Amino acid sequence: MEFSELLTPHFWTAVAQIIMIDILLGGDNAVVIAMACRKLPANQRFKGIIWGTVGAIVLRVLLIFFALQLLAIPFLKLAGGVLLLWIGVKLLKPESDEGHEVAASDRLLAAIKTIIVADFVMSLDNVIAIAGAAQGAGEQHQIILVVFGLIVSIPIIVYGSQLVIKLMDRLPIVITLGAMLLGWIAGHMVQTDPGLANVIPNTETARLGFGIAGALLVLAIGKLMLHRSRTAT
């Protein structure tokens, strides 16, 4: 590839699109990582963030090659949406439910597992967006732009996660909002599942409705779990 090709409007339009996608993508992943790592001991949090981010980046590299085929499988996004709802509810579990006897290393491993599973589910649509933006710059630029997009996302995820954790420590409502965000994303995934295309309309109203329903479902189940936890004690 010649240097002059890097100066074309198509190339820099794709760069701008990928940066915007990565900001949004990194924001979602930062919330997931922060939610999963917030209960770790202070000396384990950064390790959880780093390894969770590494897992997220590796997944995105793999998904670049398979995302189009995966998204075409009927009911896969439905299953992913249900799984993401469960993760959102799980991350709302009261502190007392975790068990203080769990070793720090085990809790770190559990947090990393949660991050990787959630990131796998959430990354399908976002990887398609990055690949689509890269295609707009021409076939010879796709690999460069995809790698660029992954590099851009690393600091967004790492520093974004640390910022969200600090907000969660100071403002507990951020935890609830983070879990509801996962429910919102889950609702969108269910609404766009190709296996449900004949049942669910592909409109902005349906998209909004399913997003709200997913967020409220996570909130409702989380509140029910909190109520049961308080009455049990």
pLDDT digits (tens, 9 = 90+) for 57-93: 777 777 766 765 666 788 888 888 888 888 888 888 7
Cα–Cα distance, 124 to 127 (Å, whole number): 5
DSSP H helical ranges for the chain: 9-37, 42-71, 76-90, 104-135, 142-170, 173-191, 204-232
Q: What is the pLDDT of residue 99?
A: 44
Give the position of tokens 């990928």. 18
Q: Which residues of the chain are under the pLDDT cut of 50?
A: 1-3, 96-102
The residues, any chain, with a CB within 8 Å of residue 77's CB and separated by 6 or more, are 71, 124, 189, 190, 192, 193, 194
CA dihedral (203, 78, 37, 156) in degrees, to 10, reads -40
Q: How long is the chain?
A: 233
Cα–Cα distance, 91 to 222 (Å, whole number): 9
Rounded (10°) angle between helices 9-37 and 142-170? 30
Taking the model in full, what pTM does it have? 0.69
Q: What is the pLDDT of residue 102?
A: 42
Is-contact 64 148, C-beta < 8 A?
no
Q: What is the pLDDT of residue 3?
A: 46
Q: What is the pLDDT of residues 37-65, one digit of tens each?
A: 887 888 888 888 888 888 877 777 777 66
